[in-house]
Amino acid sequence: MFSRLAIGLLLATAHSVVSKEEPCDNGTAIANTTGVVTHGDRFHPDFYLTITREIQNVACEQRMSVLVNGTSPGPTLRLPAGKTSWVRVCNHVDNYNTTMHWHGLTQSTAPFSDGSPVSQWGIASGKCFDYEIHPGLDDAGSYFYHTHMHMGAISASGPLIVEDFGLPPIPYDEERLVFFQDYYKKSDEVMEQGLVATPFVWVGEVDAVLINGVGVTRNATVGKGDCQLPVIDVEPGKVYRFRFIGAGVISMVSLAIEGHSDFEVIAADGHYTKPHPIGYMQVATGQRFDALFRAKTVAELEAAGKTDYYIQFETKDRPAVYTGFGILRYPSIKGNQITTRPITNPLVLTNATYDFLEYALEPLVPNNFPKASEVTRRIHITNQQIMKGSIVWQMDGLNWTEDAPENSPPYLVDIYRHGPIAMPNYTAALANNDWDPYTLTWPAKLGEVLEIILENTGSLVNNNSGVDHHPMHLHGRHYFDAGTGKGKYDPVEHEKMLENYNPVLRDTTMLHRYAPKGVAGQVHSWRAWRIRVEAPGVWLMHCHIIPHMKMGMQSAWVFGDYKDIATIPFKGAEGYLNYGGNAYGDDDSPPVAYHYFDNKKDDGR
């Protein structure tokens, strides 16, 4: 099966992919064409990803997991800035729809390539879909990809790096990935079914946190066979760029390294920042931070008498904390290697999660942050946990899930099918707390400057008043992260907090909890974003805790009018508009794709 479409997979090892940089016929003339193109034998995507469900050896155990190219995490994709890349995703899982989302990078994808269920049909079993991605020259940074349906993102994800065009603005010697994932013994299906069941069944706490696919469960015997702690190798005296990527499904992870307290954050969510020193890292699901790390010198290692140092990492703001360990190792220097957990924790990690880098990071270059006087509309979104048969999360009274009948067909598909009549009613939305009561979407006009105030509240389920944190993620163009605070939002006080501060562009930031309990139904905390509405499309905004998404903590946004959104001619879009349409290829019929970008390099070449 897939003898032609997936031929590239035969060339790929568990952690490699076919790339345009290799000396092969890429079908360049085809790749440079705009319009409708059949991706037949002469077309070779830059990367091939195949989705399977297999037994995975992980965390000293075995688990049936959704994998990418047979591994978790999947292969690292390194995309050039200023150039179009094609990624073919083939679904080999029976009775299972999937998509692939390019987290943080979807402002640089073709209209049907966001990989979310508001913009495309799922890739059916036995089908392949070709995604078109064109990172801009200013998109260089750390991202990741993950499936965006069901609970597959627990394991079906991998790092995505957009290379700097030229030398990076902040020099370093080498880089290291620190890719966080959560591990559950429970199957994806059991967890997903429990979240919609009556009575409701929560997924529970993680059994392990993994770094680069390696970790141990709470009671595992470490140091025997394949049951090992994760290891990061460094060389003395070098400066490293550590790329921290939060690909977990629930965990906010705090991390520090024994004997090393010299991190310097230089990027957040794919945007360079002014260097900011900090002694530990904190990464929630969906977030990415890049930090410089200065390895010890040979003299310092000799003075310390050791070459292995514990990495300690913990889940935060959870009822039960998971504490994990890894090893920072200097392999070129002889020394005793650590293979087991420490008897006592070498470090104490703060529980003040709400203080991490708030009002601290500023852009490396000016970013046109909107002043309060430029804001055209302020939108308050109250997030509430309620009982509605099962337990659900609502955003201003709405909850969105991929399998709800009212959310099919995907919004972008519906707009292309039916034209302007499928667009949200902007006037009705303004009269209804900013969401359209007919399409259940949140519309905005190009040129608007939105100030969105996300509000966290105490749970209304049995009035238990519990408060969760929420890493809030927006697809499409990134927002200006204007900060956070405790209690109700006060615009006057907020402006004082922004004095002499230039916020950075982000795509995933925290709606914090300041205590485990608040007051049922009352605002506990807030997060402020400002958005220049410049990227037309249909975009999801959601909490990036995957169980919360399954419970409805998602919303669909429509930026622009019909003419702004429907930029592909109808004939070019036809293959995307039906489930299993000809944009979804198989072994007998290659995908028929619309080439949205003309593949001219952004540097003019």
- Model confidence at 9, pLDDT cuts 50, 70, 90, reads very low
pLDDT for 601: 59
Q: Which residue has the tokens 């297999």?
A: 54
pLDDT exceeds cutoff 50 at 485: yes
Contact 451, 378 (CB under 8 A): yes
What is the pLDDT at residue 604? 43
pLDDT for res 17? 43
Q: Determine the topology of domain 175-355 in CATH.
A: Immunoglobulin-like (2.60.40)
Residues of the chain with pLDDT > 70, as a percent, come to: 93
pLDDT at 262: 86
DSSP string, 149-209: STTGGGTSEEEEEEEPSSS-SS--SEEEEEEEEEE-SS-HHHHHHHHTSSS-----S-SEE
**How far is the C-alpha of 87 from the C-alpha of 123, rounded, in Å?**
14
Mean pLDDT, rounded, of the chain: 93
Residue 3 clears pLDDT 80, i.e. is over it: no
Instruction: Return the structure tokens found at 124.
Output: 């059916």
pLDDT at 14: 34
**What is each CA distance from 506 to 105, 380, 604, in whole angstroms?**
11, 19, 28
How is domain 7-166+568-595 classified at the CATH fold level? Answer: Immunoglobulin-like (2.60.40)
Q: What is the pTM of this model?
A: 0.94
User: Quick check: 70 and 104 in contact, CB under 8 A?
Assistant: no
- Least confident range from 39-53, 216-230, 591-605: namely 591-605
Of 432, 407, 456, 414, the residue nearest 556 (C-alpha): 407
**Per-residue pLDDT at 199:** 94
With a pLDDT cut of 90, the percent of the chain lying above it is 90
Answer whether residue 341 shows pLDDT above 90: yes
At 32 the pLDDT is 59
pLDDT band at 30 (very low <50, low <70, confident <90, very high): low
Q: How confident is the model at residue 107 (pLDDT cuts 50, 70, 90)?
A: confident
Can 175-355 and 372-565 be said to share one CATH topology? yes
Domain-wise residue ranges, the chain: 7-166+568-595, 175-355, 372-565
Report how far residue 334's alpha carbon sits from residue 313's, in angstroms, rounded to the nearest whole number.
Answer: 26
Q: What is the pLDDT of residues 232-270, one digit of tens each?
A: 999 999 999 999 999 999 999 999 999 998 899 999 999
CB 139 within 8 Å of CB 105 = yes
Q: Kindly report, residue by residue over 501-526, the tens digit of the pLDDT.
A: 999 999 999 999 999 999 999 999 99
Asked whether the beta carbons of 395 and 548 are under 8 A apart, the reply is no
| pLDDT given for residue 95 in this prediction | 95
The pLDDT-based confidence of 602 (bands split at 50, 70, 90) is low
Interval 296-337: pLDDT, tens: 999 999 999 999 999 999 999 999 999 999 999 999 999 999
User: How distant, in Å, are the alpha carbons of 245, 374, 431, 492, 494 from that of 449?
Assistant: 29, 7, 18, 18, 17
Quick one: average pLDDT of 364-371? 96
Q: Quick one: pLDDT band at residue 31, thresholds 50, 70, 90?
A: low
* Tens digits of residue pLDDT in 172-184: 999 999 999 999 9
pLDDT at residue number 106: 85
pLDDT in tens, 393-414: 999 999 999 998 889 999 999 9
Q: What would the pLDDT profile of 435-459 be if each residue is shown by its tens digit? A: 999 999 999 999 999 999 999 999 9
Q: What is the mean pLDDT of residues 55-69?
A: 97
Which of 42, 39, 52, 49 minimizes the C-alpha distance to 18?
A: 49
What are 331's two structure tokens?
A: 């392999």
Taking residues 493-506, report their average pLDDT. 97
Q: What's the pLDDT band for 565 if we cut at 50, 70, 90? A: very high
Task: Look up the CATH superfamily of 372-565.
Answer: Cupredoxins -  blue copper proteins (2.60.40.420)
Predicted confidence at residue 603, as pLDDT, reads 53
